Structure 1
Amino acid sequence: MCAETPDYKDTLNLPKTDFPMRAGLPKREPEWLEHWERLGIYDRLRTKEGRTPFILHDGPPYANGHLHIGHALNKTIKDMIVRSHQMMGFDSRYVPGWDCHGLPIEWKIEEQYRAKGQDKDQVDVIDFRQECRKFAEGWVDIQRDEFKRLGITGNWADPYLTMNFHAERVIAEEFMKFLMNGTLYQGSKPVMWSPVEETALAEAEVEYHDKESFTIWVKFPVTTAGELQGANVVIWTTTPWTIPSNKAVVFGADYAYGLYEVTGTPDECWASVGERFILADKLAGDVMSRARLDDGMWTRVRDVSADELAGLSLAHPLAGAEGSQGEWDAPRDFRAADFVTDEEGTGFVHCAPSHGMEEYELYRELGMLGQVITYNVMDDGSFRADLPFFGGKRILKPNGKEGDANKAVIDKLVEVGGLLARGRIKHSYPHSWRSKAPVIYRNTPQWFAAIDRPVGDGQDSYGSTIRERALTSIDSLVKFTPQSGRNRLYSMIETRPDWVLSRQRAWGVPLTCFTKKGALPGDPDFLLRDERVNARIAEAFEAEGADAWYKDGARERFLGNDYDPAEWEQVFDILDVWFDSGSTHAFVLRDRADGTPDGIADVYMEGTDQHRGWFHSSLLQACGTKGRAPYRNVVTHGFTLDEKGNKMSKSLGNTIVPEEVIRQYGADILRLWVAQTDYTADQRIGPEILKGVADSYRRLRNTMRFMLGALGHFREEDRVDASEMPELERWVLHRLAELDVAVRDGYAAFDFQGVFQQLFNFCTVDLSAFYFDIRKDALYCDGDTTRRRAARTVMDLLFHRLTTWLAPILVFTMEDVWKSRFPGDDGSVHLEDMPETPESWRDDALAAKWAMVRRARRVVTAALELQRSDKVIGASLEAAPVVHVRDPEMLAALKTVTFEDLCITSDIRLTGDPLPNEAFRMPEVEGVGVVFEKAEGQKCQRCWKILPDVGRHAHPATCKRCNDALG
């Protein structure tokens, strides 16, 4: 610029905003948390009248440790659901909750006792329970602060805790409904048992890991007189410790069996020449190879039919062993069974009904349980002390490692000649998710809810049994996101056994019932069913909590004058913690003022593991007490993996801790990661992924910053009606009308990834790279023109929609954006609703026209970028290209717009002439070619366009537009 040329910079309408380019989220976010606390936003939202309630019921996390990335994902998804529905016009309530009872907390207190040299069993049970309560209270406070730091909204001042007195009262009342409606019973059957924790486990408390197990092939001699006497039926098992509890062997009636004889043996082999075995033909070769018998060392003698097998009797391999004291001398039952396969093993299955459900159910149906049930395995997984050969041997050590029971059984079988082969196998095996130790199936007396027994009088529109009601609910009352969750839950309910309700622990809600002394579980008067007793229990729990059950004189207090305490036993097992959390619909949704009158939530949202956990137990519990599912929607997220798709593990060093992400990037980056991922599948997170998320955040933030700058000093009198706006602005309004539907539909469907992708693409592609890029010139350089006022009106409309549309995701950033424009102390974007968007803004014909315009513009901008790369020009305003357009419709459309402004050139010439050979083309935009030419004239020192009229006006070195703007 020459010295005498005026500097017009101060005459431009440059953007004005205090909104910083750098977010500084780790420092700024706590300030917004304090702001929201001062405003009491959650409570203020509850005062908005006339709204339809929307309830997301919180699946309670366990109160015993700092948050991990799964917690952050889970609570952030819930928060997006709650906030988006609030801003769409609902009264969207969220009561956070905690699961406070159960074994993990008990373990922590026991560890503290052991460290002090105390014996837990010597501590008063109420004192012990109080220690557990204090432990849980401490972690509730810690986790509450950690959740709030993530920006999670909710009734944090009054959460629900399963250990609150009212909650314990309702849990007991819900249990007593099972007592009264006839579905509660005491039974002795195999349940998953943790020898390490010495308690029964629910399916939801079990996870499957690979385990290396012993595998053995055992000989059961045929004792029936005849040709087969002395032959051996061979069984295969991966649990040698169950052999002392064997009561039977079963076969498959439809399989082909044969008699096989050993004709030769190698040096090391447990088979003898002349020894004969009965095996399934399909598996005989494999069995012989396991016994180290080559093909030439055995021969098939003949068929053995199913009828012939049915007439045989077998002896236990330990029968008659010296020192066995007759323990195994009785003949073993031998019959056909449906669960036998010829896919692996020998074609025969050894049955220890005390340690396997299929065997148990077989003999239950036969009415023979009394003949086959054993009690050889104690609570700690050791054999009963008086069991010959094996008394005191342990299946597992206290630390969960392999005990000495399997080896002792194998050694004894070798000694008596009962073993044919042995080996090791690696297979998927159930483990306790708490102790990580293997579990066993063990027959113990437990309390069950019968899911196939009529509930009460059985009269219910959804079914007469718990299972029927649950399956009907899944099919007709519940929507699943993703839909695959329906199939997963349905198949689990369809095949599950009765619900084991009892646990042998101390910290929890007891099974509040009494049994008649001397009566048997099947007797009509075995269980005390009396509403007066139940009411006394409920009243005491409301006032004192579940500790009331353990106080001196509790039995007399609850039985009152109605029953003789000497005739009744008080049950001291505690309820499965899944019954606790499964009952939350009653004391949260039903009983609280911020609940729902029908006790049914709009949404339950948890991880996919909760199909066998909270979704499952809540469904069973509610179907037993209220007849249907307690939810209308079940939303499921997957697991969080590292960047390579591996499960996170401290030992691998690949864990991502929410606190560390927040410290480095801020909580909004973590929330944005949640929004960008498909949460319905397993997600990945790691340093490189978070860098990518932060980059997306910066691009979005720049869009919001530009908008704020353009809106500096915007006044209501500057507003322009849509009908008076240029086409470009009306096209933006059309896009807003489209997005309003997409955003609302997406939020309603819990599709945050879809919502964010559309908004991000709109902000970065439609706005930053197109609309803002074009309108910068008018915003900065125009005077008080309709075009500039229309652009600022659109910016205001964009502002209100984008901030509210994005607020459920980027809670801190959108508050920062909002307060940068409306800095008063009493406001918040989170008190706003998404604005209603007029349907009249939608203009599909205009959108189709502008789609053509944008396609042509892409060719022009690409051609200019090539010239810039070749240093022919420094900026696009130095160009005045000729654009050849073959399609008459597109050419006509381009001639109705100021195409040079759209392409940010100083001039453009449009022509329908054929495309010259030298014209720049893009394969994806057929029929458009660009011939580059430089702009003619001088450079306007205010807007930098190169135009022929520059310098011919009152203001030196300006174009007419800038001269008029200067006045």
Structure 2
Amino acid sequence: MCADTPDYKDTLTLPVTDFPMRAGLPKREPEWLARWEKIGVYDRLRETAGDRPPFVLHDGPPYANGHLHIGHALNKTIKDMIVRSYQMMGFDSRYVPGWDCHGLPIEWKIEEQYRKKGRDKDEVDVVDFRQECRKFAEGWIDIQRDEFKRLGITGKWDNPYLTMDFHAERVIAEEFMKFLMNGTLYQGSKPVMWSPVEKTALAEAEVEYHDKESFAIWVKFKVTDFRLPDLVLSDEEETDETRTAVAEAKAAAAQDFIGAHVVIWTTTPWTIPSNKAVVFGENFDYGLYEVTDCPEECWAAKGDRFILADKLAADVMARARLEPDMYRRVRNVTPAQLSGMTLHHPLAGVEGANGEWDAPRDFRAADFVTDEEGTGFVHCAPSHGMEEFELYRDLGMLDQVITYNVMDDGSFRSDLPFFGGTFILNRKGGEGDANKAVIDKLASVGGLLARGKIKHSYPHSWRSKAPIIYRNTPQWFASVDREVGDGQDEMGKTIRERALNSIDQLVKWWPQSGRNRLYSMIEARPDWVLSRQRAWGVPLTCFTRKGALPTDEDFLLRDPAVNARIAEAFEAEGADAWYADGAKARFLGNDHNADEWEQVFDVLDVWFDSGSTHAFVLRDREDGTPDGIADVYMEGTDQHRGWFHSSLLQACGTKGHAPYRNVVTHGFTLDEKGMKMSKSLGNTIVPEQVVKQYGADILRLWVAQTDYTVDQRIGPEILKGVADSYRRLRNTMRFMLGNLHGFDEAERVDAADMPELERWVLHRLAELDHVVREGYKTFDFQGVFSAVFTFATVDLSSFYFDIRKDALYCDAVDSLNRRAARTVLDILFHRLTTWLAPILVFTMEDVWLERFPGDDSSVHLVDFPDTPADWLDEPLAAKWSGVRRVRRVVTAALEVQRRDKVIGASLEAAPVVHVRDADVLAALKSVNFADITITSAVSLTNDPLPSEAFRLPEVEGVGVVFEKATGEKCQRCWKILPDVGSHDHAGTCGRCDEALG
């Protein structure tokens, strides 16, 4: 600049803002949290709700045990986005966080503390033990509450729901007693999933599957007799010859079969002592195979005969170390012939067995036998297998086949020959000595054909991580197929019918695949095991008549007065009242003789606790729902067999239908390579660490950018990408703030009076308003953020802002272009800050307060602004779509010149733009296309495209010939124009001279 040329910098209207480029989120976010708590944002929204329709997301309670992991952060952030977005769409959106407080994990922790101190839990007063569990849960609730709040989660944190609150324990007991009174509760003895380590029954939702190496054995059951029923022959058929032939066939078969062995295969050797039967498939081909030769190390001998499914025979023989030339197939074996055989247990008659296994084994067909693996035969221990149990239950033979050989700690009963006192698992869940003892004994008596090991998916307790077993024990069940005697039959008469009908008629599923998953589970599930053999929980508040059988009509006491006394006591004292001295007499009162009744001390499955929360949260609280039904349940996909499942069953048993209208499901969080997170692999991402490094908003933005309906990934590189997106968005907001400095209503321009470019932005806002609202309505946060982010960075920062910088900085303050642009920036501000507030709760508060400071100001106290429908202008949008396509060609052409250092900035150019389409050319001529391309001048022509013209393949019929701008550079706006220097103000163009006045 020459010495005599004025410096016009101070005459420009440049952005003014204190909004920092660097967010400093880890340091600043706690300040906003404190501010929200001080001004009581959540409670103020409730107080000012007026006639807003209620919207309630019911919180699936996390367990009060340990610090938060990344799955917690994902889950609670999605919930928070749902709650906040519905609030800003005009609802009274309530969120009461809750905690699951009872159950084995906490009890297990207290037991661990006892073991370290050498104390025996069984010697501690049960109420004292329960109090220690309560105190433990209270400590973790406080820790987790602070960790959740740090993520920016809104809610009624000062009054959450806890399943161990006295009122909650009362309601849980009352909900259980509804099952007692409506006839669905019963005591039964059947195989249930049992944790020997934890000494309790488990629900399916408490089980996870891991690979496990198990023993595999091929066991021989000897055929000791063979009989076929006499054939019924017609008079013509019954001759001496046919009678002789039939007798000879029977004798030949008996000679072949007696002494042969039916071979079974099992991966649970410990169940062999409880074997009561062997079953086969009616439609498989079986054969009798004879050993003709064998190697030295082999449990078969020459002449041995084995009955096997033909499809599996070769594999079994190979397991027995027999080559194909060492055996031969002797004959077919038909199902009728199998039915005529008598089998004996391999330990029958063994010295020292005391007759334990001497009775013949039942041998019959069953439809659950397969010929995919094994031998074609299945050994049955109905005490340890549900299919076998159901088979013999339906046959009315349970009393003949049920055993009680396995104790609650997974050991064999002490008086069981050979195996008494051995353990299936050791105390830590590893392999015990029972399997080896069984295998060794079978080998010693010649009962094995082969053995090995197999790696397979096996159920484990998700708490102790130890393998489980199936064990027949007396438990309390809720029948899913008995008629519920409560008269609420709109959805069906049984719990199963009500659940299935609710799934299809009352509930929407997000994604829809959740419907199919839960439906198939409910359709096939057995009765619900309600009881646990533990101490920390809500007891099964019922009494059984001494000496009565579970099938007797008067086995259970059903007295509303007794139930009412229990409920009142629990409300005042909590569930500990059940364990107090004299509790039985207190609850039975004068109406029943306490000596005639037994008090049940099992505790309820914790899934019954959490499944009942709709009653004491949605129904009983003032901030619940009028009909006790939640608008949304939202949890991980594992909760189809967990909370979604148990809540549905529980409510169908007590309310007659589902307790929710929408079920939203998220997947699991994996590392960047798609692997499951594991401390041993060192690939875990801890929310606290992300918050300390980046801030909670970056974690929330990661949630918004991912498709949470499937498994999602997170890691350092992914978080860096999220942080980059955040910075770009923050720059957009900073630009708006800087250029809105001092904006007031006097500047506002009506939409109808705005230039086309501003009206095009309003059109885009109207389109986006629909996308945002529909996305939030359908819980599609990825769709919302993607649309808003693309708009902010592409439509605004790279297009509209880029173009309008010149008018904002250089135009006269009262020019139409500048006023219209500032009006649009104000409109954009209110929409972008509110649209993004449910996602970036801290950043949008920061943006909001930069414009609207004040003790009571908060973006979270306002709604999404209404967007006028008449902003939509499809013809205008079509026109500007063509303008932008041509602009892309010009911009690309100038970038080539900039790369080749022909120009330094686009204002040095005055390109010639050749456009073949007459309508597009007319559109370009109707706007200031030089401003749109940020050049000092532009020439528009429909002359044929010169060969040297720059083209883009994707934009047909457009070519750009580069020309340099002619004239002098305006010292104020930097445009190169012919009129520069011909005005009153030295070195300015006409526009700038006028702006300077």
Q: TM-score, normalised by structure 2?
A: 0.97
| Secondary structure at the counterpart of residue 63 of structure 1 | coil
Of 851, 856, 866, the match for 1:836 = 866
Other-structure match for 1:965? 995
Give the corresponding residue for 2:81.
80
Which of residues 830, 837, 848 is equivalent to 1:800?
Answer: 830
| Paired residue type of 1:293 | L
Shift of 1:893: 0.7
8 Å CA contact 2:216, 2:452 repeated in 1: yes
* Alpha-carbon distance in structure 2 between the residues aligned to 1:649 and 1:493: 32
Residue matched to 2:968: 938
| Pairwise CA distance, 1:182 | 0.6
1:540 alignment partner, one of 569, 580, 599: 569
For 1:512-523, list aligned pairs within 5 A: 512-523=541-552
Which residue of the partner structure matches residue 33 of structure 1?
A: 33
How far did residue 267 of structure 1 move?
1.2
Distance 2:712 2:313 in 1: 46
Structure 2: tracts of 5 or more residues without a match: 227-253
The aligned amino acid for 1:41 is V
Aligned ranges for residues 543-562 of structure 1 at < 5 Å?
Answer: 543-562=572-591
Of the three residues 648, 651, 658, the one matched with 2:677 is 648
Q: Secondary structure at the match of 2:61?
A: coil
**Whole-Å Cα distance in 2 between the matches of residues 696 and 167 of structure 1?**
44
The answer to whether the aligner puts 1:451 opposite 2:484 as a matched pair is no
Q: What does residue 276 of structure 1 align with?
A: 305
SS at match of 1:430: strand
SS of the residue aligned with 2:590? coil
User: Hey, what does 1:53 align to over in structure 2?
Assistant: 54
CA–CA distance in structure 1, aligned partners of residues 634 and 968 of structure 2: 64
**Aligned match of 2:647:** 618
- Contact 2:488–2:655 at 8 Å: present in 1 too? no
CA contact (8 A) 1:19 1:817 kept: yes
Does 2:387 match 1:386?
no
The reply on whether 1:851 has 2:863 as its aligned counterpart is no
Q: 1:696 to 1:626 in 2, by over 3 A?
A: same
Residue 116 of structure 1 deviates from its aligned partner by 2.2
Task: List 4+ stretches of structure 1 deviating above 3 A.
Answer: none
**Counterpart-to-counterpart distance in 1, 2:561 and 2:306:** 64
Equivalent runs, 1:666-681 vs 2, <5 Å: 666-681=695-710
Query: CA shift at 1:119, angstroms?
Result: 1.4
In the TM superposition, residue 66 of structure 1 has moved relative to its aligned partner by 0.6
CA distance in structure 2 between the aligned counterparts of 1:464 and 1:41, rounded to whole angstroms = 45
Structure 1 residue 441 corresponds to structure 2 residue 470: yes
The answer on 1:922 being equivalent to 2:922 is: no
Contact 2:532/2:605 (<8 A) preserved: yes
Deviates more, 1:81-90 or 1:646-655: 646-655
Identity rate, percent: 82
Gaps of 5+ in 1: none
Residue of structure 2 in register with 1:658 after alignment: 687
Deviations 1:306-364 (A, max 9, x none): 11111111100000001000000000000000101111111110000000000000000
Question: Which one-letter code corresponds to 1:470 in the other structure?
Answer: A
Q: Paired residue for 1:184?
A: 185
Matched with 1:302 is: 331
> 1:342 aligned to 2:371?
yes
Contact 2:543 2:598 in 1 (8 A): yes
Tell me the secondary structure at the aligned position of residue 591 of structure 2: coil
Higher deviation after alignment, 836-845 or 45-54 = 45-54
1:759-787: per-residue Cα shift (whole Å, max 9, x none)? 00000000000000000000000001111
SS of the residue corresponding to residue 636 of structure 1 reads: strand
Partner SS for 1:443: strand
Please give the alpha-carbon distance, in whole angstroms, between the structure 1 residues aligned to 2:35 and 2:258. 87
Tell me how far 1:117 sits from its aligned partner: 2.2
Among 623, 637, 640, the residue aligned to 1:594? 623
Aligned residue for 2:248? none
Amino acid at match of 2:283: D
User: AA paired with 1:46?
Assistant: R
Q: Note if contact 1:340-1:349 (Cα within 8 Å) is conserved in structure 2.
A: yes
Q: Is residue 2:358 matched to residue 1:357?
A: no
Which whole-Å CA distance do the structure 1 matches of 2:655 and 2:72 have between them? 30
User: 1:523 & 1:610 partners in 2: Cα distance?
Assistant: 36
2:436 to 407, 411, 417: 407
Partners of 1:123 and 1:442 in 2: how far apart?
27
Q: Does 1:63 align with 2:64?
A: yes
Q: What displacement does 1:107 show? A: 1.1
1:412-443 residue CA offsets vs partner (Å, 9 max, x unmatched): 11111110011110000000000100000000
- 1:823 corresponds in structure 2 to 853
Q: Aligned partners of 1:941, 1:926: CA distance in 2, in Å?
A: 38
- Tell me by how many angstroms 1:458 deviates: 6.3
Q: Deviations over 1:733-759 (max 9, x none)?
A: 000000000000000000000000000
* 8 Å CA contact retained: 1:151, 1:812: yes
Residue 457 (structure 1) shift: 5.7
SS in 2 for 1:66: coil
What pairs with 1:131-280 in structure 2 (closer than 5 Å)? 131-225=132-226, 226-227=254-255, 228-280=257-309
**1:478 CA displacement:** 0.7
Does the aligned pair in 2 maintain the 1:868–1:874 contact within 8 Å? yes
- Whole-Å separation in 1 of the counterparts to 2:473 and 2:121: 23
Give distance in 1, aligned partners of 2:734 and 2:467: 56
Distance 2:487 2:447 in 1: 52
2:738 corresponding residue in structure 1 = 709
1:902 counterpart (929, 932, 947)? 932
CA contact (8 A) 2:488 2:656 kept: no
**2:719 paired with 1:690:** yes
RMSD, aligned α-carbons: 0.7
Within the candidate set 922, 925, 930, 1:892 is matched to: 922
User: In the alignment, which residue of structure 1 is the partner of 2:23?
Assistant: 23
Cα distance change on mapping 1:944 and 1:822 into 2, 3 Å: same
For residues 759-798 of structure 1, the aligned pairs below 5 Å read: 759-783=788-812, 784-798=814-828
2:277 partner letter = A
How far does residue 459 in structure 1 lie from its aligned partner after superposition? 5.7
Q: What is the TM-score when the length of structure 1 is the normalising length?
A: 1.00
- Partner SS for 2:16: coil
Conserved? CA contact 1:458–1:465, under 8 Å: no
1:606 counterpart SS class: strand
Rounded to whole Å, the distance in 1 between the matches of 2:468 and 2:64 is 24
Pairing partner for 1:867 from 891, 897, 914 = 897
Instruction: Quote the Cα distance in structure 2 between the aligned partners of 1:137 and 1:318.
Output: 54
Partner of 1:217: helix, strand, or coil? strand
CA distance in 2, matches of 1:639, 1:366: 43
Q: 1:426 aligns with which of 444, 449, 455?
A: 455
CA deviations over 1:563-616 (Å, ceiling 9, x no partner): 000000000000000000000000000000000121100000000000000000
- The yes-or-no answer on 1:477 pairing with 2:477 is no
Looking at structure 2, the residues matched to 458 and 329 of structure 1 have their Cα atoms a distance apart, in angstroms, of: 52
Output the amino acid matched with 1:904: I
Query: Does structure 2 retain, via aligned residues, the 8 Å contact 1:508–1:574?
Result: yes
The within-5 A match list for 1:746-765 is: 746-765=775-794
Structure 2 residue matching 1:313: 3-state secondary structure = strand
Alignment partners' CA distance in 1, 2:587 and 2:980: 99
Matched, 1:876 2:906: yes
Distance 2:853 2:505 in 1: 49
What are the within-5 Å matches in structure 2 for residues 503-514 of structure 1? Answer: 503-514=532-543
CA distances 1:829-885 after superposition (whole Å, capped 9, x unpaired): 000000000000000010000000000000000000110000000000000000000
Structure 1 letter corresponding to 2:182: N
Distance between the aligned counterparts of 1:684 and 1:286, measured in 2? 42
The equivalent of 2:637 in structure 1 is 608
State the distance in 2 between where 1:484 and 1:600 align. 22
The aligned amino acid for 1:673 is W
Q: Matched residues in 2 for 1:620 and 1:11: separation? A: 72
What is the rounded CA distance, in whole Å, between the counterparts of 2:972 and 2:534 in structure 1?
81
